[in-house]
């Protein structure tokens, strides 16, 4: 079966073409990705869903330059990342990508402000102060900028991670279960920030999740099973996503 390659009006911020990722060899080979072709359009919020072992995290990691494909290609904009060496990949991530993880997002010895500015500090560039202020205000961290991660709640830490991803205005933000370790109220807050970033400033976000509620904040949901895209859904709601999920399990 092939995945839908519908031509969209917007150009792709990232894409994967015939992406394969195989662990092991011969009989014992496990295909984490079994030939995935997908576009992640600019200024859109895409969610990737699927059961454990479906390859959803692998897909994101390969597109984000954290892992390498066994075959096929992955692009960030027009850059074929399979042709980049380790250092070039690192610099690409630093300059063009943002990341939000489930946990361990922050450097414990740096304050909230320093953590937010870390990608820019690494690049040796200065933040746009007005933009920084606006994001900090949006995520509500004005009073917490001087605190160390250990002095922040889990939700506050995740807001710092969101702000860190947003401040450098990356081409695309990859989020891996960003609400997985949070209670539902705090999780909803984080998802609203991400939604607003797409709506208000045209940010592109790709999020891996198993939570239908989280997926409902996306423009589009991709469903993965056994290393392949099996379905997709535009303008999802929690209930529709949940229904679709039930069909997998059934």
Partner 1 sequence: MIKLVLSSVRHNLGRYLATLVAIVAGVGFYTAVSVISDGVIDSLEGNIDDQYGNVDVAVVPDEADVVEQTGAQPEPLKVPQAAADQLAALPGVDGSAGILTAPVAFEGSDGKPFATSATGRLWITDADLNPLSVVTGDAPDAAGEVAVDQGLADDEKLKVGAELTLLTLAGPQQVELVGITEFGDSDALDTGGTVSLSEQDAFNWLNSGKQEYESFYLRASGSADDVVAAAGKATPDGFAVESGDEFRDDQREANGSFAQTLKTALQAFAVLALLVGGFVIFNTFSVIVAQRLRELAVLAAIGATPRQLKRSLRLEGLVLGLLGSVLGVVAGYLLTLALQGILALTGNELPGGISFRSANLVSGLFLGTVITVLSVMIPARRAGRTEPIEAMRAAATESADLGRARAVTALVLAALGLLGMLAGSGLATIGAGAVAFVASVFVGAPYLARVGARAARPLLERFGIEGRLAVDNSVRSPKRTATTANALLIGVFLVTLVAVAGASIRDFAIQQVNDVQSADYVVVSQGGTIDPDFVSQLKDVKDVNDVVAFERAPVTIDGAAATVSAGDVAEMAKIANLEVDKGDLADLADGTIAVLDTGDGKAPNVGGTVTVTDSRGKDAELKVVAVLAPTQDTGQTGSILDQASFDSLVGDVAPTIAFVDVASGAQGETKDAIEDLADQRPDITAQEGNALGQLIRTVFDFLIKAVTGLLLMSVLIALIGIVNTMSLSILERRRELGLLRIIGMTDKRVRRMVTLESVLIALLGTLGGMVTGLVVSLLLVLSFNRLSDATITPSIPWVELVAIMVLGVLLGVLAALLPARRSTRMEVLDAISAG
Enumerate binding residues for partner 1 (CB under 8 A). Answer: 61, 66-67, 86-87, 90-91, 93-95, 99, 101, 104-110, 118-119, 121-124, 164
Distance in Å, CB of 185 to partner 1, minimum: 26
Distance in Å, CB of 108 to partner 1, minimum: 7
Contact 3, 18 (CB under 8 A): no
**What are phi and psi for residue 49, nearest 5 degrees?**
-120, 165
Residue 208: both structure tokens together: 């891996």
Burial (CB < 10 A; 0-12, 13-18, 19+), residue 87, is exposed
Between 5 and 104, CB nearer to partner 1: 104
Distance (Å, rounded) from C-alpha 230 to C-alpha 220? 14
Between 29 and 91, CB nearer to partner 1: 91
Distance (Å, rounded) from C-alpha 86 to C-alpha 212? 35
Between 165 and 224, CB nearer to partner 1: 165
Residue 175: both structure tokens together: 């989020």
Between 34 and 118, CB nearer to partner 1: 118
**What are phi and psi for residue 2, nearest 5 degrees?**
-110, 155
Distance in Å, CB of 8 to partner 1, minimum: 29
Between 30 and 107, CB nearer to partner 1: 107
Distance (Å, rounded) from C-alpha 20 to C-alpha 71? 5
Distance in Å, CB of 183 to partner 1, minimum: 23
Distance in Å, CB of 130 to partner 1, minimum: 23
Distance in Å, CB of 200 to partner 1, minimum: 23
The residues near 46 (Cβ < 8 Å, ≥ 6 apart) are 40, 205, 206, 207, 218, 219, 220, 221, 222
**What are phi and psi for residue 165, nearest 5 degrees?**
-70, -35
Distance in Å, CB of 145 to partner 1, minimum: 17
Between 114 and 226, CB nearer to partner 1: 114
Distance (Å, rounded) from C-alpha 90 to C-alpha 84? 9
Between 88 and 199, CB nearer to partner 1: 88
Torsion of CA 198, 171, 138, 207, to 10 degrees: 60
State CA 137 to chain mean position distance. Answer: 22
């Amino acid at each position: 079966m092939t995945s839908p390659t519908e031509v969209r009006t917007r150009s792709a911020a990232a894409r994967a073409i015939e992406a394969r990722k195989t662990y092991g060899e011969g009989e014992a080979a496990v295909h984490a990705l079994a030939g995935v072709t997908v576009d992640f359009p600019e200024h859109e919020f895409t969610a990737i869903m699927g059961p454990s072992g479906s390859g959803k995290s692998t897909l994101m990691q390969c597109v984000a330059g954290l892992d390498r494909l066994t075959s096929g290609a992955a692009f960030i904009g027009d850059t074929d990342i399979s042709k980049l060496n380790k250092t070039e990949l690192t610099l690409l991530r630093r300059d063009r990508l943002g990341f939000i993880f489930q946990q361990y997002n922050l450097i414990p010895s740096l304050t909230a402000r320093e953590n937010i500015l870390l990608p820019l500090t690494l690049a040796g560039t200065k933040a746009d102060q007005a933009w920084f202020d606006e994001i900090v205000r949006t995520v509500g961290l004005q009073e917490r900028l001087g605190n160390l991660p250990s002095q922040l709640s889990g939700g506050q830490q995740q807001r710092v991670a969101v702000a860190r991803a947003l401040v450098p205005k990356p081409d695309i933000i990859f989020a891996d279960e960003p609400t997985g370790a949070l209670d539902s109220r705090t999780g909803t807050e984080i998802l609203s920030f991400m939604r607003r970033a797409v709506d208000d400033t045209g940010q592109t976000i790709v999020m891996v999740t198993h939570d239908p509620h989280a997926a409902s904040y996306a423009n589009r949901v991709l469903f993965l099973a056994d290393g392949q895209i099996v379905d997709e859904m535009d303008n999802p709601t929690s209930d529709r996503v949940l229904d679709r999920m039930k069909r997998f399990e059934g």
